[in-house]
Amino acid sequence: MLDFSGLELNTSEPVYLQIVGYVKRQIFTGAAEQGNPLPSRRELAAMLKINPNTVQKAVRLMEEEGFVTTPKNSVSILQWSSSVFSEIQKEMTAGFAADFVKHAKENGLTLEEVIHLLRQEWEKGEY
């Protein structure tokens, strides 16, 4: 079953989008596998202390975006095609870079400085 214990809800994004984003991240990083079942609506609602209808809203969106299917009378499972995977990949990487650039600009860094810092950090070999 897909593990949701790593999802800490914040209070700035809609809850259903946080759930969808979390699942995408699990797919992107390889933590989630094809065919993994999602917890039941009730379990997830209890775990996250949210309205079961919010879970439902998240599941519906994930179905629409094509990485969750819910067979009749059964639990929802993760299932994605390679094109959906590359969509998720694009979203995750572009979003990451956009956030990074935003923070760098807020701190008044130039592109040259950022590249220099990145290289320094990258070559530290600590990660």
Residues that bind other proteins (CB under 8 A): 9, 11-16, 41-43, 45-54, 56
Q: How far is the CB of 9 from other proteins (least distance, A)?
A: 5
Dihedral sign from CA coordinates of 57, 60, 62, 67 = positive
Query: Considering beta carbons, is residue 42 or 105 the nearer one to other proteins?
Result: 42
Own/partner pairs, 26-30, CB within 8 angstroms, 24+ separation: 26/2, 27/67, 27/78, 27/80, 27/85, 27/88, 28/88, 28/89, 28/92
Query: Considering beta carbons, is residue 12 or 83 the nearer one to other proteins?
Result: 12
Q: How far is the CB of 25 from other proteins (least distance, A)?
A: 18
Query: Considering beta carbons, is residue 70 or 79 the nearer one to other proteins?
Result: 70
Q: How far is the CB of 116 from other proteins (least distance, A)?
A: 32
